[in-house]
Amino acid sequence: MAFFWSRKRPEPVRVPTDHIIALHYFDDVEIFQAVVVDFALRFDDVLDHEKLRLALERLMQIGNWRKLGARLRRNVRLFLQICGTCLFVDADNSRQGQGKLEYHIPTSYDEKRPGFIYEQVEYAAKIGEHPIGCKIPRATSRPLVAGNVAELKPLTRSPDTPTTINDFLYSDRPQLSIKITSFEDATLVSLSWPHTFLDAMGRVALFKNWIAVLEGREQDVQPLHGYDSDPLITLGTKPTEPSALAGRQIQGFSFFIFILRYLHELLWYPREESRVVCLPGHFIQGLKQEALEDLSKEEQKGDNKPFLSDGDIICAWWSRRVMEVLRPASYRTVAIMNSFGLRAALSRDLLPADRAYLSNASLGIYAFTSVRDILTKRLGVIASKVRESIAQQGTREQIEAFTALARDSIAIKGRGAIFGDSSSIYVVMTNWSAAKFFEVDLSAAVIKEGLPREVRANALGKPSYVHGDSIFTGYSARCAFPIMGKDAAGNYWLSGTLRKGLWSEIERTLEVL
């Protein structure tokens, strides 16, 4: 009988001078551990890549911003293997939260242990002449599937850029990777990181303070909030009202059926594809007018005019497109889930607006309808369901109540709560419009105008295209659709993943619009 101690994989040598802190509660969750995010901005100008690099290096030297270069680790957990059976044994029982993620923050950064991975590639050609650069989506005059996400990966990430969280855990690699691709008339600025690191609005804070240094305004760099403590540690611990979703949790046998349906979709249709869609501004405004007219025909209480945001319209209209090509049974429930950022709602106390909070701070807002209704009812009716869900579930009291449900589910079941019923089909929408990525201003780094300003809508040093992509491990991104935002010309951009073959059907439905 063999008794021996072993680890799953060798971890990098721990540096005794590193500052060790635990990840925040809402960062160290299973779904975020499964995702590595790629993000890119296309600029129609030539940028000074060295200025960008030096500004980011300098930011990491200001205050607690050195946290950006933290190495990701998991608390020591040894395995006692007895006749092929692995048992967890804590290496240091005096520490709590064994097996949890933690940050190891170097005291300073140098060539041996940099704060971020940096790569710069230069092509002696215009972006339209490059075999991949020419495939970066451009705005269209009508709704169109404008690009293939997979085709752009060679430009947005390097071959050795991590694809799983283990690539960070079992190396001394920093979490943030920067790749700047320079053409004769354009620049692509690409970032990659594990989702545990930051969310969309955390990305905004990163750019805001990076740009402050780039422009020589170091006095405007915000303090980094939650450096070694979790500002959201009490969120959801004392709810004052029940969650509006309390009766919608999928549990017991219903959960079993829900998982069987989900697995059937993935196993029966294992291959999937990701695409980029351009929705012209005039088209969205036409849909919005149609939807508001729909609501005006409905019985309205009082004198309040109906309100629908562009995001409400896009969520409803796109969910209809997805159901048209999926063709599920008409009785099934459609759960339209919107990712809802918490920073504005918590700005009075937990997440002050004058501080930069890079960690994850969002929750799901759910609107429920049926396949039958989404295909047959007027657009305004479905869009109003999305709007009502945000109004109902986005209050501070409901945020506390929802978070309480999530905490209880994680504590009891080891996973977040899932809402709907056993027949539910999820359409997950993440609207980055509030982040205003198309307004990121790197004009301080422009060394040469690329596309003449008189023939473009975006200003000097502001992006003409925003690109999002994610690599999932153990999960599928199917039916998840980030809305990248509205460009300077008023066009909306979204991307997403569907089973292989359905995007060609989406293209056919768009052709007749």
Phi, psi of 133 (to 5 degrees): -55, -35
- Encoded tokens for 203: 């990305």
Rounded to whole angstroms, the Cα distance separating 480 from 368 reads 16
Q: Could you report how far apart the first and last alpha carbons of the chain are, in Å? A: 70
The active-site residue, picked from 24, 195, 225, 467, is: 195
Query: Is the CB of residue 345 less than 8 Å from the CB of residue 362?
Result: no
- Encoded tokens for 218: 């170091």
Rounded to whole angstroms, the Cα distance separating 252 from 299 reads 39
Query: Is the CB of residue 155 less than 8 Å from the CB of residue 133?
Result: yes
Tokens 């159901």 locate to: 323
Q: 308: closest CA among 367, 348, 354? A: 367
- Encoded tokens for 230: 């979790």
Q: Reduce the DSSP state of residue 30 to 3 states and report it.
A: helix
| Beta-sheet strands, E only, within 246-296 | 272-279
- Encoded tokens for 202: 């955390």
- Encoded tokens for 142: 């009508």
3-state secondary structure 173-202: CCCCEEEEEECCCCEEEEEEEECCCCCHHH
Q: What angle do CA 336, 339, 340 make, to 5 degrees?
A: 120
Q: Is 134 left (phi over 0), alpha (psi -120 to 50) or beta?
A: alpha
Rounded to whole angstroms, the Cα distance separating 414 from 138 reads 43
Answer yes or no: 441 catalytic: yes
Answer yes or no: 421 catalytic: no
Rounded to whole angstroms, the Cα distance separating 132 from 124 reads 14
Rounded to whole angstroms, the Cα distance separating 294 from 286 reads 12
| Beta-sheet strands, E only, within 220-371 | 272-279, 333-341, 362-370
**Sign (positive or negative) of CA dihedral 222, 359, 353, 337:** positive
The set of residues, in sequence order, having a beta carbon less than 8 Å from that of 241 and lying 6+ positions away, is 397, 398, 401
Query: Is the CB of residue 487 less than 8 Å from the CB of residue 438?
Result: yes
Phi, psi of 179 (to 5 degrees): -125, 125
Residue 492: is it exposed, middle or buried by C-beta count within 10 angstroms (0-12/13-18/19+)? buried
**Sign (positive or negative) of CA dihedral 285, 145, 472, 254:** positive
- Encoded tokens for 148: 């293939």
- Active site (catalytic) residues: 195, 441
